Amino acid sequence: MNTSQIDEVFAKHSPAQSQNHVNIYQNKSNAWQALHALAQNSRTLTELFEDDRRGEHFALSSCDMYMDFSKQLIDDEVLSALLTLADDCQLSSKINDLLTGKKVNDTENRPALHTALRSPKGKMLIVDGMDVNAQVHDSLAKAKTMVKRIRTGVWRGYAGHAMTDVVNIGVGGSDLGPLMATTALSEWSDTPIRVHFVSNMDGTQLDGLLKVLNPQTTLFIISSKSFGTVDTLSNAKTALGWLMSAHDNKSTILRRHFIGISTRSDKMSQWGIHQSNQLLLWDWVGGRFSMWSVIGLAIAIKIGMDGFYELLSGAHSMDKHFATADFAQNMPVLLGLLGVWNSTFLGINAHSVLPYDGRLSHFPNYLTQLEMESNGKSVTRDGHQVGYDTCPILWGDIGSNAQHAFYQLLHQGTQRVSCDFITSIHRHHQHQMSNAHLSKQHQLSLSNCLAQSQVLAFGNHALPDDLDKNNDDFAKFKQYRGNQPSTTILLDSLNPKTLGSLIALYEHKVYVMSVIWQINPFDQWGVEVGKVMANQLYDVLCNKKGVESFDSSTKTLLDKIQGKF
């Protein structure tokens, strides 16, 4: 869509009351204004599907996955304007900046090189005079040695026994990514070693786990980029105390039962992690993008280092697609533009991720952090307050669980919600396909996935005539409005490579949205402020002084906790 066409669209569709919005977007491109005008006159999905070719037209394939976005509230005119907006925002050069090590994290003055973490060995990338690729693969080589020692039983505990359990202690990106991927790839595990995850700072999660573990055969991974995260170090101290109660040689305990992963070798050494048990990160590894690095050690222990490299390979395939595909056929670009269209222009400020695959049970939570921590911003890169909606509220669950939980709101509530349905065409390893019952279960899951997206899109129009013409006394309670937009992503099968591609797809979606919104997706100052306040309150609770400096609600709550009522 060229400029004159956009001007024509804006004049044609712009309602009388749009002048206020023109003022809000006065510094935006013509495409931005045209999209706002198009949003005021958006057709329903039922109307849009009068075109029988729509299902094939708004869909594409790449990296062993198929993305159907025909149930989004777009037509060729809207899509053309979105692609023009991407060009106006210089998305192509911004993608190049990300992939070549430019300092795209401007508030912290550093690059965001998570794509370098999955780049093949030998593919040189020089940033600030250093070959990042070489550093990454040196780190992975050390992790590979550790993984082999642990999985083959060479790594022994204080009593001389091989490890049976590995506990990853982390929080945020040091927990959500490895937990999600290890769960998703559980069928690919070829080791009896059990991998556990602990993140909750209140101690109950770890306490319950320690009651069933054997200190002689348990290995702890302390994952903390700064090695100063209170949540993580508190749990690590508890784990150390538990081991010390079983064996009083602290040096042996630390050498044989703890691995540290951080950017800070000095802090790991100060805590007691032996140099040979340290794996290093870099400042440019964002926490929510860190599972591709040695933070993914727990994943590699569970599925083997070859499987971990397959995970990286899948992500790299999506990186190449993102970097080279035309925007009209570019999965991350289109997914990101659709997100902007829904949130910013259509005012759909809730988004649900619905995997119809139990192995992806932690994927919605993972994306909640990825999207909301990245794009939950209200200030542009140049420091101005935004005048438009950015990141929607995101949540989700396994589709079959969600159907019996919150789908009621999706179908008959007052909120407009966009959805992503994710499933795999082939469910099990080939040797399991002979199990007829498992095959039927998978078909049942697929049918539910397709049915839900259909009813969300078309409401009562999707129902068979005998159901749609229900004339009983409760007919008015059985109306489904439809017109809830969704995208369906089909994986050929869920394996390490396709999981890597899927995660990278959403990472790049987030970046595309940030470019259009002109915000920095790589900092998280909103997270930091809570930590500062928590430290102040922790001092008050421990010392029982300084209560007077807080607001009346907090003072009353502190009094209640300290037993003054």
CATH of the domain at 456: 3.40.50.10490
Do both 190 and 138 map to the same domain?
yes
In this predicted structure, what is the pLDDT of residue 434?
Answer: 56
pTM equals 0.92
Residue 484: inside a domain: no
Q: Is residue 53 domain-shared with residue 81, that is, in the same domain? A: yes
**177 and 285 belong to one structural domain:** yes
Give the tokens for residue 346.
């259509």
CA dist 453 → 10, 39, 365 (Å): 31, 22, 21
What is the DSSP track for 498-526? Answer: HHHHHHHHHHHHHHHHHHHHT--TT--HH
Residue that finishes a domain, picked among 281, 308, 335? 308
Spatial separation of the C-alpha atoms in residues 1 and 54, rounded to whole Å:
20
Look up the domain containing 542 and give its range. Answer: 526-562
- Which residues are known to be catalytic? 373, 404, 531
Residues in the chain with pLDDT values less than 70:
1-28, 428-438, 465-471, 564-565
Question: Considering the domain boundaries, does residue 137 fall inside one?
Answer: yes
Looking at the fold, whether 83 and 137 belong to one and the same domain comes out as: no
85 CB burial (10 A radius; 0-12, 13-18, 19+): buried
Q: Is residue 38 part of a domain?
A: yes
Q: Residues near 421 by Cβ (< 8 Å), separated by ≥ 6?
A: 354, 355, 356, 399, 449, 452, 453, 486, 487, 488, 489
Residues 205 and 241 reside in one and the same domain: yes
Residues 211 and 97 in one domain: no
Identify whether 480 is part of a domain: no
308, 337, 360: which is the final residue of a domain? Answer: 308
- pLDDT at residue 555 in the model: 85
Q: Of 521, 555, 511, 497, whose CA–CA distance to 63 is shortest?
A: 497
Whether residues 79 and 152 fall in one domain = no
CA-based nearest residue to 424, from 365, 484, 485, 502: 502
Number of domains in the chain: 3
Q: Which of 416, 505, 492 is nearest to 64 (CA)?
A: 492
Q: What is the pLDDT of residue 440?
A: 83
Does one domain contain both 447 and 359? yes
**In sequence order, what are the residues at sequence separation of 6 or more whose Cβ sits closer than 8 angstroms to the Cβ of residue 287?**
172, 173, 174, 225
- Please name the helix (run of DSSP H) or strand (run of DSSP E) that holds residue 84, with its range, or none: helix 76-88
